[in-house]
Amino acid sequence: MRFGWVWCTRRAIRHRTNVIAPRRLLSTQAASQQLSKTRNIGIIAHIDAGKTTTTERMLYYSGYTRRIGDVDEGSTVTDFLPAERARGITIQSAAITFHWPPQNAQQPDQQLPSSFEVVPRSSIPHNINLIDTPGHADFTFEVLRSLRVLDGAVCILDGVAGVEAQTEKVWTQAGTYHIPRIIFVNKLDRDGAAFSRTVKEIGVRLHGWPAVCQIPWWKGGDGAFIGVGDAVYLRGLLWQGASDGSEIKCFSLEELEKSDPSFADEIRKSRVALVELLSEHDDGMVELFLEHDEDHLAIPGAQIIQSLRRVVLQRPQTVIPVFAGASFRNIGVQPLLDAVVDLLPSPLERPDSEVSVENRSGSLSQLLAPTSASAPSKVKGSKGVAPAGHGLHIAEAKNLQACALAFKVVNDAKRGVLVYVRVYSGSIDRGSVLFNTNLRTAERAPRLLRMYANDAVEVESIQTGQIGVITGLKHARTGDTLIVYRGLNVKAQPPAGLNTLQLRPIAVPPPVFFTSIEPNSLSEEKHVLESLSILLREDPSLHLSVDEESGQTHLAGMGDLHLEIARDRLLNDFKAKARIGKIEIGYRETVTTATAPFTYDLDRSIAGKPTKVSITACVSPAEETDTISAFQPTNADRPNQEESSSQEPYTTIYPPTQDNNHNTLTIQHPSLSLTSTKPSPLLPPHLPLQTLLSSIHAGASAALARGPLNHYPLSNTHITISLDATTQLYPETTPAAISMATRAAVAASLRHANERSANVLMEPVMRVTVFVNERSLGSVVQDLSSARGGQVLSLDGEASSEGAGVGGGGTDSGEDDVLRIDPALIYAPPDPFASGSGNLASSGVADSQRQIVARVPLKEMVGYLNHLRALTGGRGTFVMSVDGFEKMGAQRQKEVLEAMREFS
Ligand SMILES: Nc1nc2c(ncn2[C@@H]2O[C@H](COP(=O)(O)OP(=O)(O)OP(=O)(O)O)[C@@H](O)[C@H]2O)c(=O)[nH]1
């Protein structure tokens, strides 16, 4: 029997049409039907596992592309940036929409049946919004950003390499967002493919029970990879005939019994193992098993799917459905798409979104819940927000019409800047005024799009749960929260409370590499700055700063590849004409002593106008600890002085969260009260107190950008500014003068501190996780701890005696309560090409795979991959992330500074 990937059972669907529902109910029912038929999913994996290759097949089989794009030819839909095509890697996550199973334009929208006991969900076309994420560790932040808007994920593994370092990392990250995941073991056509070893690694390294839903079908038992055995529907699927993989031949167990009895036998074993595993985690499966006289094979496939779905949606997810294929050979992608629809959740099945309002967090439904009679009444001075512990009730929430997250900004050559949003509540309509709660600005959404592969289709609205694109926005950046508020116009602001609403704030790691950018000529400067500002809107993990003294612009990022790509995009995509310096490590400086107050008097003309002001500053070390931790919230540029002002109206504190470098700023302004409703007579009329404070903040930040020791940004430094309005402000005081004087006063104080007791350099220290063979373990540990000055924290998740108590062992997530699974208890079919047969030790997992976690200075990790490969015969892999900044010892600092001089 030959057929395309359209199940015969699909035709069996009957719809009940005799139910008459009220009109309003019908519209909400229609909306919820639509949402039930939506999947917002991501594809995650280690670099090169085959995410883009698999996505291309998904687009092709769903009918959205006419030919299959090839990563190696640079013709894929999702890797559309020239830099991605040139390098064959994904840099930006792409979001595309398609239907699965394919939708026939002539057919009316099909309704989901009321039960899935007989036919699976995948018998009805669903709307899939898919995000293909980058695998390289330098773009981890891009992955994190995407994970926030996903409801489910497909993790792709390379069947030869197994579970790799970056897989483990993104898997854990997806776990922290409670994103249900399924696994596709890809590249099973390659020499050395080891499905069994990979399945065992899933159990051991991803800490979940692999539910093997498909087993590989090797021709004649040990020949070419030709298809899969389906443990759910008890059949063999053979990809044959058409080279595009659209024709699949299906064999029943009885048929297989005649042609390939051992394969038929293995499919039965896989079904028994699957039912056994599900019975341990799902009571529904136990009942089914009993109902079917304890016959593992008698349970209908559709009910196995139902049980799989229930376990996938459990929190935490401990069972991981595993599928098999080789997307490059067009094998296995259609059943994987069915699994996406059948097993991953719709937006309706996801937990409520996290939000924060005025620094308090809760859930979106708490915020939107109608204020009940028992809800606390408005507290004076609290701007309508109930005190902590009473949820997030805000009277104005009833006027909130939509709430969305801009999770991605892309500069499209044809369509301009595209802002990808996921709507969490309400609907964004064409022409809506959106208030950006990060930037505190409003702008209109002129056009809305849905991206179907290469085509964009204009739409009137983007509804709750959907992903869409807004074009024509001038300000929105990746990570911004956008709200629509009843009565809002472009000039108005929503009331306090709502204007601080943030959806799932995300931590941005500090940048550790930087490079300088200098326009080739003055006339190029504008274009260079505009291009940089688009890059920054796209990617908030890039940081831009201007060194006022040297006039140089510095671009900082997460890794050397991250900056290399930014440089390529600037020069090649945006055609900016600029000189780009070499990529260097971003060290920090910190003060070691406190200074006495120093006053800077400014009295000169600026832009032809006389200006006058005095600013007093002193600096001190911010804290006693030697390290600073790595992560800060994204809304870092949002001043927080209102909070502190409510406690102390004459002091404004900018806490460390305002600054990526853990600097703090305290402004003492006796005689100027923040809580006073009347303007102070001590302030010049053109200088409101908030403007004065912002000018001081800007001046202090500029001074902190360049330290006196070696021109690195300051870190862990506390600045105190005191300003007596009666003696230090004048009618000629302007905001620009205040900034200038503050910068001068702080810079002088930093110099004084450095003269009294020299500043020290702080260097980025990475948390490195290395995977190596048993044989190479000794040499890699030796290399990390001796040659690279690192500190081994744990081996295989167990804290080493050396590292105990320093950074903790365990996984990257720091979780100690991860599920530890004995690989001997995991079912996997034998690997024909590996020595041994499905036993972890004999298949090489226990022997070969060891995990080392260490803290190592970033400087020592530059070029580490090549060294690791040499030490491990090419098998070792590693991932790293910033663990913090650490003060250098005198000798190390001397060596680093000398090396810098040598190369400069
Ligand atoms: N033999 C074989 N090669 C494959 C398969 N799938 C992908 N490849 C190849 O593996 C390489 C990487 O594939 P990609 O699809 O770019 O992998 P990726 O995971 O998207 O890579 P990044 O986006 O850079 O992380 C390409 O050369 C593909 O042709 C497969 O099933 N079999």
pLDDT of residue 847: 46
**319-324 and 651-654 as β-strands: parallel, antiparallel, unpaired?**
unpaired
Distance 813 CA to ligand 1 centre (A): 27
Distance 163 CA to ligand 1 centre (A): 15
Q: Are residues 710 and 632 in the same domain?
A: yes
Mean pLDDT of 739-747: 95
- Only one residue has tokens 């990809």, namely 239
133 marked ligand binding residue: yes
434 marked ligand binding residue: no
- pLDDT exceeds cutoff 50 at 197: yes
Instruction: Please tell me which residue, 579 or 414, carries the higher pLDDT value.
Output: 579
- Tell me the per-residue pLDDT of 547-570, one tens digit each, with 9 for 90 and over: 666 677 888 887 777 888 888 888
pLDDT of residue 856: 93
Helix axes 735-756, 689-704, angle to 10 degrees: 40
47 marked ligand binding residue: yes
Q: Are residues 520 and 640 in the same domain?
A: no
Per the domain annotation, does 686 fall within a domain? yes
Residue after which a domain boundary falls, among 758, 777, 802:
758
Distance 840 CA to ligand 1 centre (A): 26
pLDDT of residue 378: 40
- Only one residue has tokens 């749960």, namely 465
Per the domain annotation, does 554 fall within a domain? yes
Lowest mean pLDDT among 304-313, 574-583, 637-646, 846-855: 637-646
- Tell me the per-residue pLDDT of 828-850, one tens digit each, with 9 for 90 and over: 999 887 544 334 444 444 445 78
Distance 202 CA to ligand 1 centre (A): 20
Residue 1's CB is within 10 A of a number of other CB atoms, namely 8
Distance 52 CA to ligand 1 centre (A): 7
Amino acid identity of residue 265, one-letter, is: D
Per the domain annotation, does 24 fall within a domain? no
DSSP letter assigned to residue 724: -
pLDDT of residue 482: 94
Ligand 1 atom 24: the closest Cα is on which residue? 89
Residue after which a domain boundary falls, among 741, 758, 775:
758
pLDDT of residue 157: 96
pLDDT of residue 85: 55
Distance 185 CA to ligand 1 centre (A): 12
- pLDDT exceeds cutoff 70 at 801: no
50 marked ligand binding residue: yes
- pLDDT exceeds cutoff 90 at 232: yes
- pLDDT exceeds cutoff 70 at 212: yes
- pLDDT exceeds cutoff 80 at 13: no
Q: Are residues 417 and 472 in the same domain?
A: yes
Q: Are residues 576 and 482 in the same domain?
A: no
- pLDDT exceeds cutoff 90 at 375: no
186 marked ligand binding residue: yes
- pLDDT exceeds cutoff 90 at 180: yes
Instruction: Please tell me which residue, 299 or 386, carries the higher pLDDT value.
Output: 299
pLDDT of residue 383: 38
pLDDT of residue 290: 95
Q: Are residues 699 and 753 in the same domain?
A: yes
Which residue from 206, 188, 245, 190 is spatially nearest to 45, judged by alpha carbons? 206
- Tell me the per-residue pLDDT of 236-255, one tens digit each, with 9 for 90 and over: 999 976 678 888 999 999 99
Mutate-to-test residue for ligand 1 from 43, 53, 191, highest number of ligand atoms within 8 A of CB: 53
Kindly tell me the burial class for residue 288, based on how many C-beta atoms sit within 10 Å of its own C-beta (0-12, 13-18, 19 or more).
Answer: buried
pLDDT of residue 506: 67
Instruction: Please tell me which residue, 109 or 276, carries the higher pLDDT value.
Output: 276
pLDDT band at residue 114 using 50, 70 and 90 as cut-offs: confident
Q: Give the nearest ligand 1 atom to 45 CA.
A: 19
Mutate-to-test residue for ligand 1 from 76, 185, 328, highest number of ligand atoms within 8 A of CB: 328
Mean pLDDT of 498-525: 81
- Cβ–Cβ < 8 Å for 737, 731: no
Cα 97 from Cα 467, distance rounded (Å) = 8
pLDDT band at residue 208 using 50, 70 and 90 as cut-offs: very high
136 marked ligand binding residue: yes
Ligand 1 atom 27: the closest Cα is on which residue? 72
pLDDT of residue 807: 33
621 marked ligand binding residue: no
Q: Are residues 649 and 556 in the same domain?
A: no
Per the domain annotation, does 725 fall within a domain? yes
Per the domain annotation, does 792 fall within a domain? no
SS3 for 747? helix
- The mean pLDDT value of the chain amounts to 81
Pure H helices in 649-793: 689-704, 725-728, 735-756, 774-782
Which residue from 477, 443, 437 is spatially nearest to 638, judged by alpha carbons? 437
CA distances (Å), origin 530, targets 415, 416, 420, 776: 17, 13, 20, 49
Which residue from 145, 65, 564, 591 is spatially nearest to 333, judged by alpha carbons? 65
Q: The domain that contains 735 carries what CATH number?
A: 3.30.230.10
Q: Give the nearest ligand 1 atom to 136 CA.
A: 25
Residue after which a domain boundary falls, among 553, 583, 613:
583
- Cβ–Cβ < 8 Å for 479, 638: no
pLDDT of residue 630: 42
pLDDT band at residue 15 using 50, 70 and 90 as cut-offs: very low
Which residue from 556, 471, 481 is spatially nearest to 514, judged by alpha carbons? 556
Q: Are residues 525 and 617 in the same domain?
A: no
Per the domain annotation, does 681 fall within a domain? yes
Per the domain annotation, does 877 fall within a domain? no
Q: The domain that contains 520 carries what CATH number?
A: 3.30.70.870
Instruction: Please tell me which residue, 724 or 509, carries the higher pLDDT value.
Output: 724
Q: Are residues 603 and 473 in the same domain?
A: no
pLDDT of residue 258: 92
Exposure of 858 in the CB half-sphere (CA atoms within 13 A) = 24
Q: Can you tell me the ipTM of this complex?
A: 0.98
Instruction: Write out residues with Cβ below 6 Å of ligand 1.
Output: 45, 47-53, 71-72, 88-90, 134-135, 186-187, 189-190, 326-329
Q: What share of the chain in percent tops pLDDT 70?
A: 81
| Number of structural domains in the chain | 3
Distance 326 CA to ligand 1 centre (A): 10
Mutate-to-test residue for ligand 1 from 46, 71, 76, 188, highest number of ligand atoms within 8 A of CB: 71
Ligand 1 atom 11: the closest Cα is on which residue? 48
pLDDT band at residue 77 using 50, 70 and 90 as cut-offs: low
Per the domain annotation, does 495 fall within a domain? yes
Distance 70 CA to ligand 1 centre (A): 9
What is the DSSP annotation of 175-212? Answer: HHTT--EEEEEE-TTSTT--HHHHHHHHHHHS-SEEEE
Q: Are residues 601 and 678 in the same domain?
A: yes
pLDDT of residue 757: 93
**Spatial CB neighbours of 823, under 8 Å, sequence gap ≥ 6:** 200, 203, 204, 839, 840, 845, 846
Cα 517 from Cα 555, distance rounded (Å) = 7
- Tell me the per-residue pLDDT of 667-687, one tens digit each, with 9 for 90 and over: 998 888 877 777 788 888 888
Q: Are residues 486 and 568 in the same domain?
A: no
Q: Are residues 556 and 495 in the same domain?
A: no
DSSP letter assigned to residue 372: P
pLDDT band at residue 192 using 50, 70 and 90 as cut-offs: confident
- Beta strands (DSSP E) in 494-624 are 502-503, 507-508, 513-519, 543-546, 553-557, 578-580, 584-585, 588-590, 598-606, 609-621
| pTM of structure | 0.76
**Spatial CB neighbours of 566, under 8 Å, sequence gap ≥ 6:** 535, 539, 542, 555, 557
How large is the C-alpha radius of gyration of the chain? Answer: 30
Instruction: Please tell me which residue, 614 or 564, carries the higher pLDDT value.
Output: 614
- Tell me the per-residue pLDDT of 315-360, one tens digit each, with 9 for 90 and over: 899 999 999 999 999 999 999 999 999 999 999 998 888 888 876 7
- pLDDT exceeds cutoff 80 at 28: no
Distance 50 CA to ligand 1 centre (A): 3
Q: The domain that contains 419 carries what CATH number?
A: 2.40.30.10
Distance 710 CA to ligand 1 centre (A): 44
CA distances (Å), origin 375, targets 301, 362, 370, 712: 49, 15, 9, 51
- Which residues lie across from 436 on neighbouring strands? 441, 482
Q: Give the nearest ligand 1 atom to 72 CA.
A: 27
Cα 435 from Cα 472, distance rounded (Å) = 15
- pLDDT exceeds cutoff 60 at 864: yes
Q: Are residues 602 and 656 in the same domain?
A: yes
816 marked ligand binding residue: no
pLDDT band at residue 48 using 50, 70 and 90 as cut-offs: confident
Ligand 1 atom 7: the closest Cα is on which residue? 50
pLDDT of residue 887: 92
Structural domain span for residue 658: 592-758
pLDDT of residue 626: 41
